[in-house]
Structure 1
Amino acid sequence: MNEPCDYAKSDSWDAFCIAKVLLARLDELPDANPQDLYWTLGQLVARRNSIVKHASGLKNQMHQQLSYHYPSYKKFFCDIDGKAALAFWEKYPAPHQALMVGVDELAEYLRKASHNTCSTRKAEGLPVEFSSRASLKKTSYFGYD
């Protein structure tokens, strides 16, 4: 069992070592403790809660950024992380970029991004709302242009 340590650490080496121990010393290994399952489950639940909390924080940051550039964004995309909304935010991070596109092109883009669930009416309302905003200014996505 004592082999020289001139190996490269890898998953295949780990698997080999585990298999070797299981074959050679199975009778010496301790029995599995059922409490280990509860510990593992607790760790998974804690990790999930951490991920959910982080995702919630990121979504709040997104709301904050969107409200700066698109003050009335909730009128058009109630689900800001839906397919159409995410595609729209990615392609048009600032309102002036969306205003440079025709309604037909915008409607086609939203339909494609949403797999035909986004209506033409939504695309028609977007440029009207953006052009009527007094706070509309031509800035870059990061606000320094």
Structure 2
Amino acid sequence: MGVLTNLAKLTTMGFDNLATMNVGAQLAQAQATMDGLIAQNQLATQAAGPEFVSATATVTQLASTGVMVNDGVQVALGLLVLLPAGVPVPVTTTTVVPMALLPQVQPGATIGVRVDPAAPSRVLLDLR
């Protein structure tokens, strides 16, 4: 008897959740996350090009976006990038950082980056 009662309750709860679920919004959020990851991957591919140069950056802000990708967490980083010409440029970027490397991107840390001097907002972390 208890199994059938629990099954009935679970079925009712499932139908209630289905009625209130906004599938369109969930799909839109998933698509936006995927678009961001694809853009980041394209940027990583381009970072090997001649327009990107090595630089250093100081982490000024760190915030989780709530998205997990494999063994990493997507974070929003505030960086102060020191361009090769010696000009500091504030940059905000969203990237996936492996959990094991999160201590390297804490506020105040200095990290290596690859940056496009013509468009400093195009930055890629060089974590090891």
The structure whose residues are more often strand, as a share, is 2
Determine if the TM-score, normalized by the shorter chain, exceeds 0.5. no
Q: Normalised by the shorter chain, which TM-score bucket?
A: 0.3 to 0.5
Query: TM-score, normalised to structure 1's length?
Result: 0.31
- Structure number with bigger Rg: 1
Query: TM-score, normalised to structure 2's length?
Result: 0.33
